[in-house]
Amino acid sequence: MWRQLQAAASVLAGVRGGQSATALLSRVDGALRPGVQALAFQALRQLGRAQALRRLLARRAPPPEADALLCTALALCCGDDETPYEAFTLVDQAVEAAKRSSTARAQASFINACLRRFVRERETLLAAAGRDPVARWNHPLWWQQRLQQDHPDSWQRVLEAGNAQAPMTLRVNARKATPAQYLATLEQAGIEASAVGQYGVILARARPVHELPGFGDGVVSVQDAAAQLAAPLLMDGMAPGAASRVLDACAAPGGKTAHLLELSQAQVTAIDIEPERCDRIGETLGRLGLQAQVIAADAGRPSAWWDGIAFDAILLDAPCTASGIVRRHPDIRWLRRETDIAQLAAVQARLLATLWPLLKPGGRLLYCTCSVFRVEGEVQAQTFVTHNKDAVLRPAPGHLMPQTGENANPVPDNLEGDHDGFYYALLEKRAAAGPIA
Query: Would you please indicate which residues are annotated as catalytic (active-site) residues?
Result: 370
Candidates 337, 345, 370, 330; CA nearest to 159 is 330
Cα angle 16-18-23, degrees, rounded to a multiple of 5: 105
DSSP for 8-50 reads HHHHHHHHHTT--HHHHHHTS-TTTHHHHHHHHHHHHHTHHHH
CB neighbour class for 221 (10 Å; exposed up to 12, middle 13-18, buried from 19): buried
Alpha-carbon span 260 to 26, nearest angstrom: 29
* Residues in a beta bridge with 364: 313, 428
Q: Which secondary structure element, helix H or strand E, spans residue 170, and what is its range?
A: strand 169-172
Sheet with 169-172, strands from edge to edge, namely: 193-196, 200-203, 169-172, 220-222
Q: How far is CA 65 from the centre of its chain?
A: 28
Q: Which secondary structure element, helix H or strand E, spans residue 337, and what is its range?
A: none
Residue 240: CB atoms within 10 A of its CB come to 7
**Is the alpha carbon torsion for 60, 63, 67, 68 positive or negative?**
positive
CB neighbour class for 239 (10 Å; exposed up to 12, middle 13-18, buried from 19): exposed
